[in-house]
Amino acid sequence: RGTALQLLFKMSYSCSKVGDPRPGQPYKGGNFCAFLPDNKEGLKTAKLLKKAFERGLIFQIKSCNGEERVTWGLIPHKTSWDGGKARNGYPDAQYLREVGSVL
């Protein structure tokens, strides 16, 4: 199956901005981890995900039980290296094509 690239995101606690569910309200951050295959296509996808992150497209702020928190946005990520598609992991032969079309 090969080796994996591991993408780590540490989102700190902060205040939401205009366009978020409740602008000016504090929100909880969190640690997020995603995986890509360590090959040419995986590296290309990682570069595209980096651009999406820099543009604020990877995460969103959602209100959950009266509390604002950072969650994954609409761009799909593999959060497990195994377990298959059902567990948001690999193997998933369509994932790189799907995320590439979203990006």
d(CA 57, CA 67): 21
pLDDT tens digit sequence for 20-38: 666 777 778 889 999 999 9
88 sits in the region (left: phi over 0; alpha: psi -120 to 50; else beta) called: left
User: What integer pLDDT is reported at residue 20 of this predicted model?
Assistant: 66
d(CA 41, CA 21): 35
CATH number given to 4-102: 3.30.390.130
Place of tokens 């946005």: 73
Average pLDDT over residues 6-14: 86
Domain residue spans of the chain:
4-102
d(CA 90, CA 80): 7
d(CA 47, CA 14): 26
Greatest alpha-carbon span in the chain: 45
User: What integer pLDDT is reported at residue 49 of this predicted model?
Assistant: 96
d(CA 12, CA 28): 7
User: What integer pLDDT is reported at residue 38 of this predicted model?
Assistant: 94
pLDDT tens digit sequence for 37-75: 999 999 999 999 999 999 989 998 888 787 888 889 999
Model pTM above 0.85: no
Q: What is the pLDDT confidence band of residue 101, given thresholds at 50, 70 and 90?
A: very high
User: What integer pLDDT is reported at residue 65 of this predicted model?
Assistant: 82
